[in-house]
Chains A and B, each alone.
Chain A
Amino acid sequence: MANSHQLKRVDFIFRNDNDWEKILSNTIKKKPQELINELMSSELKGRGGAGFPTGLKWKYTAEEKSDQKYVICNADEGEPGTFKDREILSKVPYKVLTAMAVCGYITGATEGFIYLRGEYKFLEPELNKAINEFEYYCKDIKLDFKINIFMGSGAYICGEETALMESMEGRRGEPRNKPPFPTQKGYLGKPTVINNVETLVHTFTIFKFGAKKFYDLGVQYSRGTKLFSVSGDTPKPGIFELELGMSLQDFVYEFGDGDTKSVQVGGASGFLVPRKSFKDAAIGFKGKLSGISLPTGGSMMLFNSSRSMYNVLDNYLEFFREESCGQCTPCRVGCQQLLLGIKAVKRGEKPASYLDKLIRLTETMQLTAKCGLGQSVANSFSSIVENFREEMIY
């Protein structure tokens, strides 16, 4: 079994002690370097799905020399099956704002943006109220930091950090070439920290309780807690803060309906784990230990035996075909080919062996696509096709 432990529920994120003012004023009394060290030692990794070490990201941005820097909170929560950021922004917005301001203090940014998913427009009025109050307090403690909301327009790709910045700059949401990375040249070409909503909230936890408390939770390479958006065939759908590193087996015991056939970890761009692999799979970032480690932005979709995995894959691919920005060849054309390909196999127009060609195609997509979208289509495609091949054919 992989590096895992029993499922443990935790309550950091939604615990509202209403002490953000104190945390903010205390935190910015410390030296930026001290705070960066704190973050690094917590081993917090980005919670949007990619898992880049947050302390390192802030450090890189702090080290850049520039007249202007920015902090962006990525609230373009679009991955099918995740709904945690919405909850954070409606329940504990001050934690997010505090974290952004601290990030600004550390990196030298004086302006922050919340890139809010178009469908979350209803959050905007409350969020603006919170921002007003927050900025008022910042003035009070002489912290120069402004926060604006930028409304997204509904494209999934704009959750990709550089596409998000393109969109903010008034252009088409298309991912940029990297390097340069946002920490070097981000929004308007200036060094920018861009973090997922949840990542920012975790930094709040760390600044409040110290890195050790966070580090002590979870397992090696996957420290701390994580919010999970649980959906699908489960009697307990909802949002749960769990310690990272649990085995999928335990997760299914807790959330399954007794007939769980498979779990999609990490949304449409994540992996599908069939029942036979539950006990070998741990939820967390890839480490050097053996076993399957599954990173996730928090989406956990459970499927029971009434579900056709063909339909599930068909649905994902239709999503990708539409939500690819369309600029790079492997993603734009690849997604169309995968979708048409499984349909053709299902109808008997292509032989079953065509599925292997398609898997090789997803390997190319993974190797060559310009951004994470096209690169990760392979995850769900190959994990579904390899584990449920017969459902694809018959």
Chain B
Amino acid sequence: MANKLNISINGFPVEIEKGKTILEAAEGQGITIPTLCYHKDLCVAGNCRVCVVEVEGQNRLSAACATPCEEGMEILTNSLKVRNSRKHIIELLLTEHNADCTKCYRNGNCELQKLASDYKIMTQDFIELVPLKNYSIDMFSPSIIKDDSKCIRCQRCVRTCAELQGVNALSVAHKGDQMKITTFFEKALRDVVCTNCGQCINHCPTGALVEKNYIEEVWEAIANPDKHVIVQTAPAVRVGLGEELGLEPGSRVTGQMVAALKRLGFDSVLDTDFTADLTIVEEGTELLMRLKSALVDKDKNVKLPMATSCSPGWIKYMEHLYPEFLDYLSSCKSPQQMFGALAKTYYAKARNLEPEKIVSVSIMPCTAKKFEAYRPEMHDSGYRDVDYVLTTRELAILIKQAGLDFNKLEPVKYDRLMGESTGAGVIFGASGGVMEAALRTAYEIVTGRDVPFENLNIEPVRGMEVIKEATIKIEKPLKEWAFLDGVELKCAVAHGLVNAKKVMDAVKAGKADYHFIEFMGCPGGCLGGGGQPIPTNAEIRQKRAEAIYAEDGEMPMRKSHQNPEVIKLYKDFLKEPLGEVSHHLLHTKYTKRKRY
């Protein structure tokens, strides 16, 4: 057959598709060839050389990840020559790597550690290079710690930053023994174009890039009897956490997670989904107002398309790379920060607590959220609105430290007051979810009817396609929205900053006539966030997305404006969307930043 090749792997004949690499061919045969610089999300680099294999008739070994199969190839993946070379390479990497494993944040989940263990590198023949190097640790960022002594120079982070995110905050500098992964002029990550998205962390095989953790701070707050510690959990955490605790990707653990949080000692376990619903009401109203200004008042200054503002990585990206377009962003804070601002005002008042005694913790699939909480703008309650942001991974650490047998926990429900949510809030965790949630609400506000999609599932904006588009024609609107009659609402969804760039460049060039665009900084949206369990790849993200939509499908309420707690919040506190209190607590401004 024309599209097939006949090769042999370790003496066994194999028929494979043309164009497959040796690594893929071996994988298909159930043979794992070890890799380090290879990652399914990224282009092939072929620089760690751990995956070398022997090809009969060739003097040198070939990198399995980078070598396409050819007809008649006889491949040996475990010959003595291969084993000896591979062992040498692992040994070499270890001499350059600060192998202080017991003190490493990635202890137990490190690809180099696993290789060293698999190949039983028990002695060190070669000279330890770590003490001779002037390694530095960058701890200035509120989100990311970069420890060069743990770096194995596989460049996965560099490729991630360039290919997935188009940010290029990380790059390679110098050559030879001085070669290192660094930033523009070797500045701290805090001071460069880094968006804190954390994708570099998710793709780092070792502990060279890790989140800045706030585990001890949270334990201390919990232990402090004077503090009322509340916790909010983002939508995507409930479909990722299980992976860190031994479950399959795509496991939905909402109830167990809430149970675990209660057992950890949080005084109140609440849901970011609640403020996701709130975001929809505010942001949907904002969109309709902008449309009204544009269509009725013919205001030329109104900024359309309006872009979502839930993803703090995306926000910082805009601030650095499209500072002239900041007015296009919705002024809504992200659900995390809306929650934070309400926690120390509305919640404090309702529960009769002094706001300074509240410690507000959030569990996020995201490292950029750590930066977001730390922004000077995010103190609208009069205090720091969100005190500590933990990633999904950090939550798993808390659970393990507390010795909880996660899988034996009986699911329980969130506490009330800011714990109620709808399916629309849940799907914030997937790319396209904010768009879908917004459309479900906005269409109903305008027409009084459900969005014209079966079961409210707006399929065109779902899925992993990098840029998605949808058009909804508004027909027979209610009287006050008559000006929208016949208007085709054009929407776009982009996830992964490299794709956001494509859409923004089209907007910049005047070639995008959208009204509303959802941008998410990470591939797949929050479920693929930089704070989610490691490893990540398209398959895992797909499973998490399926879990999110399943969660939505089973919710009794699936439209944000139906959320009774949101209705109550407006009645008792905010009065109306975009009202004065909202303006003060729920909306924000952005900061122009430079690229360098």
Contacts and interface: CB of A to CB of B under 8 A. Distances in A.
Interface of A: 155, 157, 172, 174, 177, 179, 320-330, 332-337, 340-341, 344, 357, 360-361, 364, 366-370, 375
Size category of the binding interface on chain B: 35 or more
Interface stretch (B47-55, B230-238, B484-492): B47-55
Contacts of B67: 177, 179
A125 B487 CA distance: 64
B176 A326 contact: yes
Contacts of A336: 96, 129, 177
The 6 closest A-B pairs by CB, nearest first: A326-B179, A333-B92, A177-B66, A364-B88, A327-B47, A177-B46
A337 B60 contact: no
B89 interface: yes
B126 interface: yes
Given A364-B88, A367-B52, A326 B178 contact: yes
Contacts of A370: 46-47, 49, 63
Contacts of A326: 153, 172, 174-179
Given A357-B126, A370-B47, 8 more contacts: A320-B176, A323-B176, A324-B175, A326-B177, A327-B179, A329-B153, A344-B127, A364-B89
Contacts of A337: 92, 95, 126-127, 129
Nearest to B51: A368
B44 interface: yes
A330 B153 contact: no
B127 A340 contact: yes
Nearest to A361: B88
A333 B129 contact: yes
A330 B96 CA distance: 12
Contacts of B177: 321-322, 324, 326, 332, 335-336
Contacts of A367: 52, 59-61, 81, 85
A359 B115 CA distance: 24
Contact of B172 (A172, A335, A369): A172
Contacts of A323: 175-176
Chain B's interface: helix, strand, loop or mixed, by majority? loop
A329 B63 contact: no
A330 B48 CA distance: 8
Of listed B48, B126, B152, B176, residue having the most chain A CB within 10 A: B176
A329 B155 CA distance: 12
B155 A327 contact: yes
Given A155-B175, A321-B177, A333-B96, A328 B60 contact: no
B201 interface: no
A326 B154 CA distance: 10
B125 interface: yes
B93 interface: yes
A370 B132 CA distance: 25
Nearest to B87: A364
Contact of B176 (A172, A332, A368, A375): A332
Contacts of A334: 92
Contacts of A333: 92-93, 95-96, 129
A224 B126 CA distance: 45
B134 interface: no
Given A326-B174, A328-B49, A337-B127, A364 B44 contact: no
A167 to B, nearest CB: 12
18 contacts: A155-B175, A172-B172, A177-B63, A321-B177, A322-B175, A327-B179, A328-B47, A329-B47, A329-B48, A329-B92, A332-B179, A333-B93, A333-B96, A336-B129, A361-B88, A367-B61, A367-B81, A368-B88
B460 interface: no
A335 B96 contact: no
B310 to A, nearest CB: 34
Interface in B148-191: 152-153, 155, 172, 174-179
A380 to B, nearest CB: 17
A157 B179 CA distance: 13
B84 interface: yes
Contacts of B155: 327
Contacts of B176: 320-326, 332, 335
